[in-house]
Amino acid sequence: MEPISVTALSFTEYVMSGQRGRISIVSEQRRIYLSSEQWVAGFYNPVRDAMRRAANSPDPAAELDKVVEAAHRNPRAGRPRAFEELREGFLPWLQSTRATGVPTGAARWQAGDLALRVRPHLGLRLPDGSKAAVLVYVKETPMTQEAANVGLRILQQTVADTLPGAVPLVLDARRGRAFRMSRRTNLAKLDALIAAEAAGYVVHWRMSA
């Protein structure tokens, strides 16, 4: 069988969904990935694109305002409100970092039959010259540190290809909260958890076919 290929963020969202919600979230992700309707697969793409533009703009608020206005002109279920909440959470966080955008590359991470596509949504250069590779989480349910650790570890293991030398971050954009890996994190236990979750994702994906 061909490996199942999804993004690192989709896998992170699966891990945070809890045992009872996992079959439904994989079924939804499978529907989105296999959908022929482009707007379904790319629901949040306009606002993520605006976030990237904002990181390089002298007026970052204007970039987010444009995408919110476009959502109101051509509303789809839930999009205007979602984009407004993302603007309100993301802008203050971006401004507090005083960062500018840098390009990121792509990588592939694999465990068994699960292949994850890893490309940080944002690459940032901070005022002290350090860099950050950021996965931007945009959903309504708040991100948790436990789930963020999964995305952070995958970013950590692929950052040499995506943005060498960068610190991995997972940003809960609606709440303007950035997660980073604690130095106290037991990486061996985290790797074992990720391997088990990857195997579970494959089972749930194939069950929902």
Question: 7-24: per-residue pLDDT in tens?
Answer: 999 999 988 887 667 778
**Considering only 32-46, 81-95, 167-181, which range has the smallest mean pLDDT?**
32-46
**DSSP classification of residue 178:** E
CA dist 110 and 116 (Å) reads 6
pTM of the complete model: 0.90
- 3-state class (DSSP) for residue 189: helix
Residues 6+ apart with CB under 8 A from 88: 174
Average pLDDT over residues 154-174: 97
pLDDT in tens, 176-200: 999 999 999 999 999 999 999 999 9
**How far from chain centre, in Å, is Cα 126?**
20
Nearest to 117 by CA among 103, 135, 132, 140: 135
